[in-house]
Amino acid sequence: MQILTKSGTRIINFIPRETISDSKTYKLVIKSESKNKVIFTDATATFIELDYYYKYQTTQALVENNYYTITITNTTDNNIIFKDKMYCSDQTLSDYSISNGVYIEQSTGNNEFVYYG
């Protein structure tokens, strides 16, 4: 899962299921899970190849504390080459906790066990 901010240039890093070729066309779709509708489509998406992965840059506005799905399709062969989920948050990653205040550890005693063989 990728965590992105709600404004500015967002970078989506991914490793595709097949090699990306200049002779094929690709479509990137971002769908909002809370609205259950497509909020962004790039029918001629271009990607930047790095050492072992690719990146895609977008300035599409996102809503904080919402989940989105990303789907990249090879439109030449009609194959999905990447699918992932992303989350929008402006919190810094070093202090971000998705379960902050949700789980409270309970004391269970000294945790001694007896095994019978």
Q: Which residues pair with 68 in a beta bridge?
A: 32, 86
Q: Are 50 and 11 in contact (CB under 8 A)?
A: no
In percent, the amount of the chain with pLDDT more than 70 equals 76
Q: pLDDT band for position 10 (50/70/90)?
A: confident
Q: Is the Cβ–Cβ distance between 102 and 44 less than 8 Å?
A: no
The predicted structure's pLDDT at residue 104:
59
Tens-place pLDDT, residues 65-110: 889 999 999 999 999 999 999 888 777 656 556 665 565 566 666 6
Q: Among residues of the chain, what percentage have pLDDT more than 90?
A: 48
